[in-house]
Structures are given as C-alpha cells and as structure tokens.
Amino acid sequence: MIDAKQLIKNSYFKSKDHSDKALALKRVRTTIAKLKINSFDSLELDLKEQKCISDALVLLDKAVEVHTKAAKLTKDIETRKADRYAAALALVMKSDFGKLESIKDKVALLFSEKSHMLRDIEKASDVNYIMKFTFQDCLESISHSLAYQQGDMQEELGKALAKFQAILPDTYAKTTHLVERMQKLLAAG
C-alpha cells in the first residue's frame, strides 16, 4: 500500500479531505467488524471466507493509518504555507508597494500587474472599488507570488520593486489618460 508521503505527492487533497477519508474508512471498518462479530457466525463462513474478512479489516486499518498520517502531514504543509504567505503579505504591506497612495501610483501598479481590471470604468464607484479592493487584491497577488518563491522573500521583494520602478516612467506615460479620467469621475462624484 502507498505510504502517506507518496499519497500527498500523488493527490491534491487538503488535510480535511484526508481526515474525511480516514473517518469514512474507520466507519466502514467498524461496521464490518461488528458484522463479523454479530452476523457472520450465523452464515457459517468457512476459514477462507473468514480470513478474507479479517484481511479486509487489516487492509482498512492500514488505509485509515495512511490517510490519518497524510492529514497530519498535509496540515503541517498548509500551516507552513499560510505562515509564509502571512509573512509575505506583511512584507508587501510595509514595502513601497503597500505605501502607494495616489491614483497615479496605484494605477501604475495595477496596469503592470492586472491591466485587465482597469477596463470598463464608467462611474466614481468603479474608481473607488478599483482603488480599494482591486488594489488590495493586487498586493495579495504579489504576496502569493513572493510566498511561493524559494529563498529570501525580502530579496525577492526588492527585485520586484526594482523591476516596477524601472518600468514606472513608461507606465505613467501609458496610463495618463486613464488616471485623468478616473480623477474626473471622482470629482464628478
């Protein structure tokens, strides 16, 4: 039978999925064990049939053990990933990315990361939504990218900031009309 590490490697299950599988297998095992004790004797099973049932119980025990271990290992991995993401988000929020305030700067970042989100802006509420929620989503996206990269996150964040600053003058030029339109929409209310 496959071991817990191999099971994790071969599946996309979350820790809860493995726990649910282990619980379901425990229920099946318990049901079969109760039937063996209470009902199978009346069926007058021969030794081969009794051994088959006993082997099935052993197999179910092993499967429960594998899924239980896989749930624990997966939970540990999920916790480490969540901690790394939280650290990455904190870094991004403290960085120059998180400190962007003006519409011009936020639009420049959004244009470089999620330009498709800057379409169909027709009213002030669209601008407010983009400046608050879409911008926050962009920072979270940068944090996810940072968290999944190997190595020092501070160094990778520095590279991302340097890359953004290098394209900033060109991005400002490309987004001037959009920024002006957004500012007019906000002024009009």
Determine the Cα–Cα distance for residues 81 and 107; give it in Å rounded to an integer. Answer: 29
What pLDDT, on the 0 to 100 scale, is given for residue 97?
Answer: 95
What pLDDT, on the 0 to 100 scale, is given for residue 11?
Answer: 87
pTM of the complete model: 0.74
Determine the Cα–Cα distance for residues 147 and 86; give it in Å rounded to an integer. Answer: 8
Mean pLDDT of the chain: 91
Determine the Cα–Cα distance for residues 97 and 171; give it in Å rounded to an integer. Answer: 15
What pLDDT, on the 0 to 100 scale, is given for residue 102?
Answer: 94
Confidence grade of residue 40 (pLDDT, cut at 50, 70, 90) = low
Angle at 165 between CA 91 and CA 136, to 5 degrees: 45
Residue 147 pLDDT exceeds 80? yes
Task: For residue 19, give the nearest of 81, 79, 65, 82 by alpha carbon.
Answer: 65
Neighbours of 66 (CB within 10 A): 21
